[in-house]
Amino acid sequence: MNRFAGALAALCLAAAGTTAVVVAGPAAAAPACSVAYRVNQWQTGYTADIAVTNGATALSSWTLTWHYAGNQSVTSAWNATVRQSGTAVTAESLPYNGSVPAGGSISFGLQGTYSGTNATPTDFALNGVPCGDPAPPTSTTPTTPTTATTPTSPTTTTSGPPPAGCAGATICDDFEQQTGSTPGGRWTVGAANCTGTGTVAVDGTVAHSGSRSVKVTGQGGYCNHAFLGTSLSGLGSGPLFGRFWVRHTTALPTGHVAFMALRDTADGGRDLRAGGQNRALQWNRESDDATLPAQSPAGVAQSVPLATGTWSCFEFEVDGAAGQLRTWLNSAEVPGLVVDGVPTPDIDQQWLARAWHPALTDLRLGWESYAGDADTLWYDDVAVGSSRIGC
């Protein structure tokens, strides 16, 4: 009996020792990664700074994946290539930040839109291994999705954070993410009426910030319209604020030209246009050809020219409910480009000859000429939101 009891005790101790080893092994293993997802959000948009801490295995490249619980849509990113298909998001390393030592960290950021709630993702995985799982992630070579999984809202990397002054903007684009010769992503190229020899291209030689802008080679004549455009959906029904930097080569002419157009569904789908006439900035309403200011000497004197050979910051506010409009050039309000609801001779008296409550659905930047006037323009650091963005 004593020998039997001693053997049984020894067997129990051996079993207990084995169990302790099995349990302790996984518990001591480092998780594959940890993620800090920090959000700055406003009514319809957000930015997210994402910091990833690697586990015990060094990486030569990385891919982080997650799912959104709501209708979040990524519109731009920096320090990673980010693609979205439905609610699934994939962020891939770049050549300069793919190497991550054991215990090391990397960070990247993105900007997006949403409505309703903007919950933080909870299912992050690094190189296919869920964060918190002790299995080590392996190095991976980023792959491009096949046709069957082509992202519905693709975004790619920028060279750094979003342009300065974009805080609160729903649309914020400095074109650094453009990798082709023609603007893509949120932007489409063309004109609703007629196009000719005018061109729109990504330019890597001239930029207001970073290293890229969009160049519009605008030709003379009505059928040479050339624009890049984007939808304004998701911006709500309140006042609309826009800001972009523009540089051009030829002074505004005597004839009518436009370098921006916005579709107004409250005016039969006709355009609200900004451009020039009589060598000064003006707004024009396509439906009745009303101008702001009036094209009288006193009216034109209340506007300003657009300098050539340098970058200018053009800002505007359109309040559809109030039927008002304001314009700034290089942060200074232009008196002749204001609709304040009170008719002023030589400024907005003609404009207010009928009720005007615009509902704008898109933004197009480019060139259209109604005579023989041509120009070459560059656009950069475009932002649109529900409050003034500034230069």
What pLDDT does residue 235 have?
A: 77
Q: Are residues 234 and 309 in the same domain?
A: yes
Q: Are residues 128 and 218 in the same domain?
A: no
Q: Examine the pLDDT at 323 and tell me if it is beyond 50.
A: yes
Q: Are residues 118 and 220 in the same domain?
A: no
- Count of the separate structural domains present in the chain: 2
What pLDDT does residue 77 have?
A: 80
Q: Are residues 194 and 340 in the same domain?
A: yes
- 75 in a structural domain: yes
Q: What is the percentage of the chain residues whose pLDDT exceeds 70?
A: 82
Q: Are residues 41 and 175 in the same domain?
A: no
Which one has a higher pLDDT value, 313 or 197?
Answer: 313
Q: Are residues 279 and 355 in the same domain?
A: yes
- 162 in a structural domain: no
Distance between CA atoms of residues 286 and 232, nearest Å:
19
Task: Give CA separation, 291 vs 116, 222, 274, in Å.
Answer: 39, 18, 10
Phi-psi region of 253 (alpha: psi -120 to 50; beta: other; left: phi over 0): beta
130: part of which helix (H) or strand (E)?
Answer: strand 129-130
Q: What is the percentage of the chain residues whose pLDDT exceeds 90?
A: 56
Last residue of a domain, one of 121, 149, 177: 149
pLDDT tens figures, 342-391: 999 999 999 999 999 999 999 999 999 988 899 999 999 999 999 999 98
pLDDT tens figures, 220-272: 887 888 999 999 987 777 899 999 999 999 999 999 999 999 999 999 999 99
Give every CB contact of residue 122 below 8 A, 6+ residues apart in sequence. none
Instruction: Name the one residue in this structure whose structure tokens are 């200074």.
Output: 332
pLDDT, the chain, mean = 83
> Stretch 10-30: mean pLDDT, rounded?
38
What pLDDT does residue 364 have?
A: 97
Q: Are residues 66 and 129 in the same domain?
A: yes
pLDDT tens figures, 52-110: 999 888 999 999 999 999 999 997 787 788 989 889 999 999 877 888 988 888 878 88
Q: Are residues 121 and 174 in the same domain?
A: no
Last residue of a domain, one of 149, 182, 214: 149
Distance between CA atoms of residues 95 and 79, nearest Å:
10
Distance between CA atoms of residues 42 and 293, nearest Å:
35
Q: Examine the pLDDT at 5 and tell me if it is beyond 50.
A: no
Q: Are residues 140 and 183 in the same domain?
A: no
- 26 in a structural domain: no
The CATH number linked to 312 is: 2.60.120.200
Give the range among 9-18, 47-56, 195-204 with minimum mean pLDDT.
Answer: 9-18
- 217 in a structural domain: yes
Distance between CA atoms of residues 37 and 35, nearest Å:
6
Q: How confident is the model at residue 32 (pLDDT cuts 50, 70, 90)?
A: confident
Structure-token pair, residue 385: 């939101």
Tally: H helices and E strands in the chain:
2, 24
105-113 vs 45-54, strand pairing mode: antiparallel
Q: Are residues 57 and 124 in the same domain?
A: yes
Burial class (CB in 10 A: 0-12, 13-18, 19+), 18: exposed
Q: Are residues 208 and 144 in the same domain?
A: no
11: part of which helix (H) or strand (E)?
Answer: helix 2-28
Prediction pTM value: 0.62
Range of the domain at 94: 33-149
pLDDT tens figures, 272-319: 999 999 999 999 999 999 999 999 999 999 999 999 999 999 999 999
- 161 in a structural domain: no
Q: Are residues 282 and 361 in the same domain?
A: yes
User: Which of 345-364 are b and which e, b meaning 16 or more Cβ less than 10 Å from the residue's Cβ?
Assistant: ebbbbbbbeeebebebebbb
Last residue of a domain, one of 88, 120, 149: 149
The CATH number linked to 49 is: 2.60.40.290
Q: How confident is the model at residue 121 (pLDDT cuts 50, 70, 90)?
A: very high
What pLDDT does residue 39 have?
A: 85
- 254 in a structural domain: yes
What pLDDT does residue 159 have?
A: 36
